[in-house]
Chain A
Amino acid sequence: MNSVRIRACFNNIAVSWSRHPGRGINSAWTHRSILHQTRCQSFSQSAARTGIAAPEIDFSTNEQIRDVSLLERVRVIPASPSYFTAKPDFTDSFLSLQNIYRKYQTLPTVQPGHAPRVSWKSLAQYRLLVGEPVKAAKYHKVLQILGRLNQIHPSLMPEEVRREIDSYKRLLNAHENMPRERTGDGFGRAIGVGRRKSSSARVWLVEGDGQVLVNGKSLTETFPRLHDRESALWALKATQRLDKYNVWALVSGGGLTGQAGALTLGVAKALLIHEPALKPALRRAGCITRDPRRVERKKPGKVKARKMPAWVKR
């Protein structure tokens, strides 16, 4: 083989850097060099290597070698000075982000809290992207800059910033996933679905004078216990609307307590369609949050979920 490839040897370069101890990675020289380099930021590992490491020297073409001085041929300089930070990709990207921020920091911003909600990449996702062990604190600084950039008024958002921000966003923005707005069915009926334990209830609520039918039966027939009746209609009772609406409900599954609890949520959801402003009152009454508790599963070696078998001597 007449073509011999040499690569930049870390030891050699380390030696060469050690000769200039004054030049730290945060020195002005580093920043300047980064500013001058209009290196396209790349997050993939192979692309990073080509971007940071010097190009390979091809000895097969003698002309090239002849033109290059001996020093330059022997002393290989990495493409990015961040090479020596051990996290070159991250450092470069962080610096470019900082640059962009400085460039556009005078642009008008929206009021705090009015910026579009963005779900940024998690630390783990970011680490995978750059392929480097980025510390949480460092990524936090990235996020701070991103948050500031996100506050730039949307109508004035430069294309450059938008592209930069987009590369840090998650693929799916959970904040864009808005719940479907519920409305009545045009006949004055509002349907709400509620669940509790293993029961589920569908509730149709219409304006009325307080008639209640659950599974075609009266409230007392469905729930012999007063407590269950109260909890089934708790959303209406807590908002003093017991005699303002008629309830027609279908409830299935589980036992009486679960069915009553399912009705609570169903009635509350249906009531919110009629009167959305009642949401804080209903939340205070505990009618908004679904109780996620279910029967705990049985485990092997146990009599029930937790109960251990009785101790037996041999």
Chain B
Amino acid sequence: MASSSCWRCLLRPQTYASRPSAFLPSTGTTASPFLSRAVTPAIPFSTSSPYNAAKAPAKGGNISRVQAGPPRRGQKSLRIKKKSPVKATTRPPAPGERKAARKRIVLSNTNAVEVQGLKELSPETMVDAQNHGQVLGIPGPVVDQLRAVEAFKTTQAWKLFRQPSTLQTKQSLDLAQQVAKVTDGENGKRTFLRKILTGDKASGKSVLLLQAMAMAFLKGWVVISIPDAQELTIAHTAYSPLRNTEPKQYVQKAYMSELLSRTLRANQPVLNGLQLSQEHPGMPVPLQSNMTLARLAELGAKDADLAWPAFQALWTELSAAPANAPARPPVMLAIDNLAHVMRNSAYRDADFNLIHAHDLAIVNHFVKHLSGEKTLPQGGAIVAATSASNTPLTPTMTLALRQIEARAAGTPEKDLPQPSAWEPVDERVKQVFAARGGIDVHTLSKVSREEARGLLEYYAASGLLRAAVNDSLVAEKWILAGGGIVGELERGAVTMRV
């Protein structure tokens, strides 16, 4: 029976080497005595490596040197077997799976004890001074809204408790009163609050921002939130120049569509009740005249190309005062990690210069409202929180905040903090804070011992702190938390519990 393979393919290397040299190609050609014409193998075949090696000295190499095989006197150098790379036996994580696990927010722990008699945050309780120093639970619908605007952070210990709850500090009470005041209006006119939350690391800036958003949701506001300003400026999302803008602005379509989607999910009930009241020539697609604002937001959320015009249209609608329609609700703009938008972004323009973060369209929108250049006729607030852990150096903003604080404390102009001669001044950032004033800088103070006691009692009631909450325990935890840094209090009492 004839084999389908040629004889050469069946040879093993050693047998091949020991064959008479007559069978070997004696010159550089591949001519074989058995073949009528010289052939070159089209496909290199693995078992015929000596054959291929024999081809190599075509340029006049020594044939005897080429005949492969181990050296007669054995290997002279030490041969250490290389470790083969370890083959993973498990399934590798799917794209995005790791990030999803990293960003996962767990807001309930069914093993935690349900706190008996826990009051819930409501328009009434949030302004009630009697709740000062107590923990209030966030109602379920608001939790969903807050989750939609990504107000909960992975570094916070929500996953340990049955229900997301926050401490009513003096500052949150003040903020709640201000939110209530804006909603109710003064002399029939609503104001537009501009607040910046600063403070030590883990002093509760992001949570106060979350409380502000929760209050806004409870009061029926529309909340538009940038949960982490860093995402806009570190060049991780696509950008493109915006036509007819001077200086040139850049729009981040994908991020805008995400933002609209989050805004829609969080504000669905409010936006569903509002209808278009104006023409929007900027929209590339025709809009129905009786379209709801939720539908408008959905347009932008679904199509990234429509996201920016849809956002602009939505904003126009929200700031309009329609004559024959229900009044527009106040709007809260929230932005966390503010320092990232107070400097150059990592994006480049056509000349490869760094783009200032204020030239990014959505950042510009927020900054204009922060500076007071733009405002909302029906009132609202912009609340910006700084970060103390992941924050770039922004000397101009830091100085401006210190100056505002000093002015608020009654320091005369000549004694205000002065800029350092060695630090560059960012004129655009300087203008934001200098232009109109009226920005309220809110430095978060440390919690008092009474507030700490309320928090520790809540931990104990949740079954996470197994100790009698007495004066000595409160004092110990409070002192070890740097004198009332609320995040450290949480770490010392709950998160780092052994």
Partner-B contacts on A (CB < 8 A): 210-212, 218-221, 224, 226, 229-230, 233, 237, 240, 242-243, 313
Contact = CB atoms under 8 A, between A and B. Distances in A.
B475 A220 contact: no
Contact of B480 (A219, A224, A240): A219
30 contacts: A210-B478, A210-B479, A212-B479, A218-B482, A218-B483, A218-B485, A219-B479, A219-B482, A219-B483, A220-B201, A220-B202, A220-B482, A220-B485, A221-B200, A221-B482, A224-B201, A226-B480, A226-B496, A229-B480, A229-B482, A233-B479, A233-B480, A237-B476, A237-B480, A242-B475, A242-B479, A242-B480, A243-B472, A243-B475, A243-B479
Contact of B78 (A212, A237, A240, A313): A313
Given A226-B496, A240-B472, A220 B488 contact: yes
B472 A226 contact: no
A7 B479 CA distance: 87
Contacts of A313: 78
B392 interface: no
Contacts of B480: 219, 226, 229-230, 233, 237, 242
In order of increasing CB-CB distance, the 6 nearest A-B pairs are: A220-B482, A243-B475, A210-B479, A218-B482, A219-B482, A220-B485
Contacts, number: 51
Nearest to B482: A220
A220 B479 CA distance: 10
B479 A226 contact: no
B481 interface: yes
Interface string B65-100: 000000000000010000000000000000000000
Contacts of A211: 483
A216 to B, nearest CB: 13
Interface in B455-498: 471-472, 475-476, 478-483, 485, 488, 491-492, 496
A205 to B, nearest CB: 14
Nearest to B388: A221
Given A211-B483, A243-B472, A220 B478 contact: no
A220 B482 CA distance: 5
A221 B472 CA distance: 23
Given A212-B483, A218-B200, A243-B479, 7 more contacts: A210-B483, A212-B479, A219-B480, A221-B200, A226-B491, A237-B476, A243-B476
Contact of A220 (B78, B471, B476, B481): B481
A210 B475 CA distance: 8
A226 B488 contact: yes
Interface in B414-462: none
Nearest to B472: A240
Contacts of A240: 472
A243 B476 CA distance: 7
Contacts of B78: 313
Contacts of B475: 210, 242-243
Contacts of B479: 210, 212, 219, 233, 242-243
A212 B200 CA distance: 16
A211 B492 CA distance: 17
Contacts of A242: 472, 475-476, 479-480
Nearest to A237: B476
Nearest to B201: A220
Nearest to B492: A226
A134 B62 CA distance: 89
A210 B480 CA distance: 10
A230 B477 CA distance: 10
Nearest to A223: B482
A218 B202 CA distance: 13
B229 to A, nearest CB: 24
Contacts of B491: 226
A242 B476 CA distance: 6
A240 B472 CA distance: 8
A39 to B, nearest CB: 73
B488 to A, nearest CB: 5
A243 B477 CA distance: 11
Nearest to A210: B479
A246 to B, nearest CB: 10
A221 B485 CA distance: 10
A301 to B, nearest CB: 24
Contacts of A229: 480, 482
Nearest to B485: A220
Among B475, B480, B483, B491, the one with the most A-chain Cβ atoms within 10 Å of its Cβ is B480
A229 B481 CA distance: 8
A136 to B, nearest CB: 52
A226 B488 CA distance: 8
Interface in B189-233: 200-202
Contacts of A237: 476, 480
A261 B488 CA distance: 21
Contacts of B201: 220-221, 224
A103 B475 CA distance: 67
A211 B202 CA distance: 19
Nearest to A244: B475
A233 B485 CA distance: 17
Among B481, B482, B491, the one with the most A-chain Cβ atoms within 10 Å of its Cβ is B482
A276 B483 CA distance: 27
A278 to B, nearest CB: 17
Among A211, A219, A220, the one with the most B-chain Cβ atoms within 10 Å of its Cβ is A220
A313 B475 CA distance: 63
Nearest to B487: A220
Nearest to A224: B201
Interface in B39-55: none
Contacts of A220: 200-202, 481-482, 485, 488
Contacts of A230: 480
A242 B482 CA distance: 12
A211 B78 CA distance: 67
A242 B473 CA distance: 10
A218 B479 CA distance: 10
Nearest to A247: B479
Nearest to A212: B479
A217 to B, nearest CB: 9
A219 B472 CA distance: 18
Interface string B134-171: 00000000000000000000000000000000000000
B453 to A, nearest CB: 13
Contacts of B485: 218, 220
A108 B479 CA distance: 58
A210 B446 CA distance: 14
A44 B396 CA distance: 84
A233 B491 CA distance: 17
Nearest to A222: B482
Contacts of B492: 226
A214 to B, nearest CB: 10
A170 B106 CA distance: 74
A221 B202 CA distance: 11
Contacts of A243: 471-472, 475-476, 479
A84 B475 CA distance: 79
B204 to A, nearest CB: 13
Contacts of B483: 210-212, 218-219
Nearest to A220: B482
